[in-house]
Amino acid sequence: MKKYLHAYAMCQSMFCAIPCPFKVWDEKARSCMLLFLPVIGLEIGALWVGLKWLLGFLQVPYLVLALVLCAFPYLVTGFMHLDGFMDVTDAVCSWRDLNRRREILKDSHVGSFAVVWCVFLLLGSFAFWASVPEEADYFCMILVPVVSRCCSAMAVLKLKPMSTSQYAEKEKAAGWHLAVLAAAVLLCVLIGFLCFGKYGFVLIGTLFGYAFALRRSYKSLEGMNGDISGYCLTISELCAVAVLALL
């Protein structure tokens, strides 16, 4: 039990900007850390929806509300996943050979592709949030960060890591971790349709967005790492908001 508590605290500290009062690093718990990504996602999703409700209750102008909701997922993760999105975009859009693409991925400088696509990403997120109908059941968004983080954890655990990735020398996780994560995705989708009706398709949009982004980035870079995880997670959550706006 202690190992799993440590794994949760480590996951909270690493993947979320919300302060974690319990600071610990336990190498024995490292292999279990990704198992708690969906829990962090549930925290983020609850805060996201709670913020939407609060701003609506205060009758904040709709465009201001859209701006806050657009910025929230990046702020609450300390821009970690947005950084991954920009790094991978620079690498993939360069159309160079594999070694050069990987060099660009690890380069700390920001390239023009990253800037341009980051602008489109933020404008898209803002536009979709501003287009969500007032009658939309936005409570389904609670589950979106859970699904996106389940996908990230499964991709990191299952796919071949790059040699430069922090996961390249990771301790092998227990086989049942993948089963738990896959079951969590299925449960979220089931709850989505049972509780939110047609808005369950928001979660399907999350899955398709993640799958599309993963296929493109993994194929281009021939390996998995944390930047790719952030890239795919960012696109999947943008797709979720797009579906919410279009339903």
Q: What is the pLDDT, as a whole number, of residue 199? A: 95
pLDDT less than 70: residues of the chain = 164-174
Q: Each residue of 121-158: pLDDT tens digit?
A: 999 999 999 999 989 999 999 999 999 999 999 999 88
CA distance to 35, 149, 165, per residue, from 174 (Å): 10, 18, 20
One DSSP character per residue, 170-219 reads PPPPPTHHHHHHHHHHHHHHHHHHHHHGGGGHHHHHHHHHHHHHHHHHHH
Beta bridge partners of 224: 161
**Short-list 187, 221, 215, 202, CA closest to 102:** 221
| pLDDT in the model for residue 98 | 87
Q: Write out the two tokens for 209.
A: 């967005």
pLDDT score at 102: 87
- Report the chain's C-alpha Rg in angstroms: 18
* Separation CA 128–CA 209 (nearest Å): 15
pLDDT tens sequence across 14-37: 888 888 777 777 777 777 888 899
